Amino acid sequence: MTAILGITFPIYAAIALGYLVVRQNWFSAADMRTLGKYVMNIALPALLFNAVASRNVTEVFQPGYVLAFAAGGVSMIALAFVWFSFTATDKPRRAIAVLGSTCPNSGFIGFPVMLLIFPDVAGVILALNM
């Protein structure tokens, strides 16, 4: 139980801290927009570069893994499209639902969890997924 808490606590603590920061209005909307741009344009690419640059190319690019990942993604898109075609009433809602059901959060949630569980291969998994 303590092992699971040790893995999940930092993630939930970061979520709670983010909630507290927004709730207390410590940053304005413009500040949050700037912080989001920093994360998407600088921090995440730097994380990916670090994960890829420290590995051998044959370790990072595995065609079989990429093919399986792509096949799973396309299958999920097709399944979600059919499902939401019957359940969603308008096209924009269907589009957002399909996007939300097929895009993994590998960079912000998946990588930290993998880094805690499998620190030796987390960078390779992140690079393969991205």
Residues contacting residue 102 through CB under 8 Å, at least 6 positions apart: 73, 76, 77, 80
Instruction: List, for residues 31-71, the tens digit of each pLDDT value.
Output: 888 988 998 899 888 877 887 787 777 777 788 888 988 89
Determine what percent of the chain is predicted with pLDDT higher than 90: 7
Q: Judge contact between 62 and 53, C-beta under 8 A.
A: no
Q: Judge contact between 124 and 55, C-beta under 8 A.
A: yes
Four-point Cα dihedral 118, 52, 76, 4, nearest 10: 20
Burial 66-100 (b: 16+ CB within 10 A, else e): eeeeeeeeeeeeeebbeebeeebeeeeebeebbee
State the pLDDT confidence band at 75, using cuts at 50, 70 and 90: very high
pTM of the model: 0.56
